[in-house]
Amino acid sequence: MKRFVYINDDEASQELYCDNRISNRKYTLLNFLPKNLWEQFSRFMNQYFLLIACLQLWSLITPVNPASTWGPLIFIFSVSASKEAWDDYNRYISDKKANEKEVWVVRQGIKKHIQAQNIRVGNIVWLRENDEVPCDLVLVGTSDPQGLCYIETAALDGETDLKTRLTPSACMGIDLELLHKIKGVIECPNPDKDIRRFDANMRLFPPFIDNDVCPLTIKNTLLQSCYLRNTEWACGVAVYTGNETKLGMSRGIPEPKLTAMDAMIDKLTGAIFVFQIVVVVVLGIAGNVWKDTEARKQWYVLYPQKDPWYELLVIPLRFELLCSIMIPISIKVSLDLVKSLYAKFIDWDVEMIDQETDTSSHATNTAISEDLGQVEYILTDKTGTLTENKMIFRRCCISGLFYGNESGDALKDVQLLNAIASNSPDVIRFLTVMAICNTVVPVQSKTGAISYKAQSQDEDALVHAAAEMHMVFVNRNANILEIRFNSSIIQYEVLETLEFTSDRKRMSVVVKDSQNGKIILLSKGADEAILPYASAGQQTRTFIEAVEQYAQLGLRTLCLAWRELDEDEYQDWSLVFKEASSTLVDREWRIAEACQRLEHDLEVLGVTAIEDRLQRERKGKEKPKGQLLLIDGKTEDEVYQSLERVLLTMRITTSEPKDVAFVVDGWALEIALKHYRKAFTELAILSRTAICCRVTPSQKAQLVELLKSCDYRTLAIGDGGNDVRMIQQADIGVGISGREGLQAARAADYSIGKFKFLKRLILVHGRYSYNRTAFLSQYSFYKSLLICFIQIFFSFVSGVSGTSLFNSVSLMAYNVFYTSVPVLVNVLDKDLSEGTVMQHPQILFYCQAGRLLNPSTFAGWFGRSLFHAIVIFVISINAYAYEKSEMEELSMVALSGCIWLQAFVVALETNSFTILQHLAIWGNLAAFYIINWIFSALPSSGMYTIMFRLCGQPSYWITMFLIVGAGMGPILALKYFRYTYRPSKINTLQQAERMGGPILSLGNIEPQQRSIEKEVSSLCIAQPKGRNPVYEPLLSDSPNSTRRSLGSGAPFDFFQSQSRLSTSYSRNCKDN
């Protein structure tokens, strides 16, 4: 589908397309309440609690006042609705500000000032310097004589460097006054969200041009939210407006990520629900049996002689309402609240502020902090993430001669400088390609100094290096390039630019030498994209050796080449390229095909080597020892052999541990993922470290998906736009606010200033978040099960009738006030100091393995709640039941026992006390008595004088002492036994912290090896017919090994831990 935009025609497009009103609101005043309620009730737990609340309205079956459920339910819904309303109101204010901004447009040939929301498709919009672009425009004129303008796209894609935009060739040279009267039509695709692509055509109506088709690309557009910079004015035709702009189409709420802990909580909630149904059925049957056998014999039980048809359901439904509190109604709100605090802790962490750029860390996603503590695989970009992204030209190889090898700096190599001074033809051509085969824009200051605006750090380094060697790129004047070499000016006319793509891995320009009229193709790119296309007679062995040598030194390599073109060859190719550039269907593919027709029989000029230094914090730490095993090959058969040998080696290392990693290039990775996916999956699981070279953005995302298919928690980190797909695919995405801009940081769940902060993000914030959330979630179930079990036990002494021991006010206060405040303060708890955690990263294994929240730990909390319920009920019933007191007194004694026990439980589970935590635990206990004294003073409360009477009885305090002693004694004994005789590594560290002594060696935390056979079942490679099945491993004692020794140093491990952080439980990979 496509649309036709009629330029400067106020009527043609008015009814067809929307205006420029922006609306990011989720709700309106009319649909807010029904839409928000629908969203909240779409969750199973909310539906469940609504059903319980509705059943409580049936007076025949409800054991408590309906307010005990309706009150918390309405409170929780109100909090969620208020948050949604506030967020939507802020979106409305932002939209209103953007819509009412004043802009200049042309209406009926006259320039007018209107609000941005009134722009229509086809209007000509005028911009001045530093103006924000109000909608998507096709550029038709600028103040620059050559039709250039500069825009800042940071708000759109996060990239901080200025971009150049060019007026279409059809509009070049049109006078300023005639731009008001320009007429024509733009044929473009329907709105989409791809901000890097715009395939369209333009036709101007006479007298402006003779109706020729002019192809348009993204370089001819100004997209919404960009800013016009360093340009006096520019004007463009509105093609997409309102929510149909590319930015508007890409807006939206991302799909929420489900953390491993959330998934476990959902499973445990389901298990509790099943248990609850079983209890309800059993007690319902028992209640009906008791009613029909024993109840009718009691004179005080007045049952009718003939029961209605629904009588059998009354007791089961009553127990359903009584047991409904097994699932805590407030758990979701509590978890959301503490997760928001975890995110704020990341934002407030002063130790994660990059001092060089004053960039602080930020948590965009507030719901997955605990997943940081369960990360098992980290996938990281290199350039700008592990390195500084500051490119420096170091060495080069020209026509087989190496420069810069001795001094380490080719710019100071005397032999190269002499070759330049003697005008060596090979060197001059090499420098020419370095200087002009790019999209760099030279900017000359008033003092005459030249600076360069480059979209790539590599191009910037090459142009600066060429300038240092006297080949200075002076000016880009539309299609005319000027370079100055030894005080003489050389001009080239740019005929075509063949842009770089991640698939082609090279870029080329076709230029015409103004001196001799020769047409030349200049190309630069990766070795795999240049060397295979060298002319048949040229020897490339030296260049291959140069690439290998520079790569071993950790330098970035590019190959440079050129080819002279015949006039006829260029003209024929130009027609094909122009046709491909003007098509609206598969334009990118057809352009790539056209480029392939020209980029062949190249004369390779040489190889450049650029240094991208590691970040200072990584130096001295990245010294791995062991071997790098290479997976390479250009054909399926070659990749098969290489992969099989490496896989055999990795299988051996599981029983004979060695520090072994593997390296794979993009081409071999493509074949492995397509034909040997299962085998490569096994290799990925067995390996501690893998290095993937020259991979595309889609391949990065595929690697993440590969590990996620085996249920591993993945974290992806990068700093550029090519990392966005990988970041969004991972369970946790981390973006670095680097020199490549903010695009990765904006797409990520977390943004940090430098890679070094990742360790603190995972070990400190991730681990603390996991520990705290594990306690909070299990404690929430514990306190709900405790009160529910007491209700169940009471039913055995109340005729299994479903009568509630506690009144409605006590139940509501118990869930909302008495038990919530102490546990929420647990967000400040730290089992170990931050310094200890950073010093011993191997303890992260306990989080990775889910040691603190799993069915076993939950069973412990379940048993604890059952045991405490028995203690409270038995002691209370024997102290205050029968004719000794009223039922209200028994209820208050049991409730007091719950509050006392839970205060000591929270205190026992707290590792680091602060004043706030003491205040929350013991102050909450005091508040319990103050609140109940107030209620006991009110005659209408139903608790009149109860608390006064109880507190005046020594037996009450003796009962509390017995409950606490009997309830906490066995738990303290068990905890002491584990801490003393079976301490974990964490207990060892805690003891060392308390004693003030250092831990020199914590030892290995190596669980039972997971079963690879279970994880990747049947991962053998399908063997071609006739192949010898015997392959030798690639270890150091193998005569046929293909490896690279890495010297001595630390093992392959992100955190440099002494053991491999693996999990003890097996997973089953999904069939790929």
SS3 assignment, position 1059: coil
Burial 620-649 (b: 16+ CB within 10 A, else e): eeeebebbbbbbebeeeeebbebbbbbbbb
Selected catalytic residue, list 199, 349, 381, 413: 381
Query: Can you tell me the distance from the alpha carbon of 594 to that of 587, in angstroms, rounded to the nearest whole number?
Result: 10
Nearest to 662 by CA among 675, 674, 649, 678: 649
1001 alpha carbon, distance to own chain's centre: 34
Question: Does residue 14 contact residue 200 with C-beta atoms inside 8 Å?
Answer: no
How remote is the C-alpha of 1037 from its chain's centroid? 42
Cβ neighbour number for residue 590 with a 10 Å cutoff: 17
Is residue 381 annotated as part of the catalytic site, yes or no? yes
Q: Calculate ∠ Cα 353-358-362, nearest 5°.
A: 50
Q: Which of 627, 492, 595, 507 is nearest to 558 (CA)?
A: 507
Between helices 311-323 and 767-795, what is the axis angle to 10°?
A: 140
Q: What is the DSSP secondary-structure string of 901-925?
A: HHHHHHHHH-SS--HHHHHHHHHHH
Q: Are strands 690-693 and 660-665 parallel, antiparallel or unpaired?
A: parallel
Q: How far apart are CA 509 and CA 43, in angstroms?
A: 57
Query: Is 363:812 a contact under the CB 8 Å cutoff?
Result: no
Q: Sheet with 387-398: list strands edge to edge.
A: 401-403, 387-398, 603-614, 556-565, 519-525, 506-513, 488-498, 480-485, 471-477
All residues at 6 or more sequence positions from 812 whose CB lies less than 8 Å from its CB, including other chains? 67, 68, 71, 72
Q: Is 991 helix (H, G, I), strand (E, B) or coil?
A: helix
Provide the token pair at 733: 């995405």
H/E element, 976: helix 954-981
Measured distance CA(629)–CA(945) in Å, rounded? 80
C-alpha 526/C-alpha 532 separation (Å) is 11
Alpha-carbon distance 654 to 134, whole Å?
Answer: 59
**Active-site positions?**
381
